[in-house]
Amino acid sequence: LLDIDLPGMSGIRMVEELAPRLPETRIVMLTVSDDERDLIEAVAKGAAGYLTKDLSPEALLRALRGTQRGELAMARRHAAYVIKHFADAARRGRVAVGGAIEGLSPRENDVLRMLAEGLTDRDIASALMISPRTVESHVSSLLHKLGVRNRAEAAQRYRSGV
């Protein structure tokens, strides 16, 4: 259970840091925020739930126990919004099943995923068994195709699923 507003760091940023390191851990955001952008970002970063602090203690416990059974912990209206958001993104042709971004080659999707994971060009080149120069070429191409200015924007686009 993680508050969205932490001293010195956003709870969403904490999810982004923890989720890849602790894949078996179900992280549930607890917040006063009903902001749909926070909801989408938290889920995109790996949160297994998004609960508001106006929940009764009993409802909070039920939701947390549900996550132990693989359920999502969020209000139905939040779940509906998340589904609509990602369905709309897929319909716009930006995200395919499995997280690949439509319009990018399979190799560009690989490079983008690794960029979003924080790998360097050299690490990506090694993992894909290509030269760092080829990685740079793929990055340049995917930046153009995504209509973003830099790697950070591309990585953010990948992580948010749009």
- Say which range, 67-71, 87-91, 102-106, 136-140, has the weakest mean pLDDT: 87-91
Residue 56 resides in a domain: yes
Q: Residue 118: left if φ>0, alpha if ψ -120 to 50, beta else—which one?
A: left
Residue 29 resides in a domain: yes
* Domain count across the chain: 2
The pLDDT assigned to 144 comes to: 92
Residue 32: CATH number of its domain: 3.40.50.2300
Q: Are residues 81 and 124 part of one domain?
A: no
Max mean pLDDT range (8-12, 147-151, 158-162): 147-151
Residue found by looking up tokens 């990685």 in the block = 135
Q: Are residues 72 and 116 part of one domain?
A: no
The pLDDT assigned to 50 comes to: 94
The pLDDT assigned to 156 comes to: 84
Beta bridge partners of 31: 52
Domain encompassing residue 20: 2-87
The pLDDT assigned to 100 comes to: 64
The pLDDT assigned to 91 comes to: 64
Q: What is the residue-wise DSSP string for the chain? A: -EESEETTEEHHHHHHHHHHH-TT---EEEES---HHHHHHHHHHT-SEEEETTS-HHHHHHHHHHHHTT--EE-HHHHHHHHHHHHHHHHTTS--TTSPPTTS-HHHHHHHHHHHTT--HHHHHHHHTS-HHHHHHHHHHHHHHHT-SSHHHHHHHHHHT-
Measuring CA to CA, which residue among 108, 109, 106, 111 is closest to residue 122?
Answer: 111
Q: Are residues 144 and 67 part of one domain?
A: no
The pLDDT assigned to 93 comes to: 55
Task: Please write the tens of the pLDDT for every residue from 88-116.
Answer: 766 665 554 455 677 888 899 889 988 98
Residue 146 resides in a domain: yes
> Predicted confidence band at 137 (pLDDT cuts at 50, 70, 90)?
very high
Q: Are residues 83 and 117 part of one domain?
A: no
- Say which range, 33-37, 62-66, 94-98, has the weakest mean pLDDT: 94-98
Residue 146: CATH number of its domain: 1.10.10.10
Residue 73 resides in a domain: yes
Measuring CA to CA, which residue among 9, 14, 6, 48 is closest to residue 31?
Answer: 6
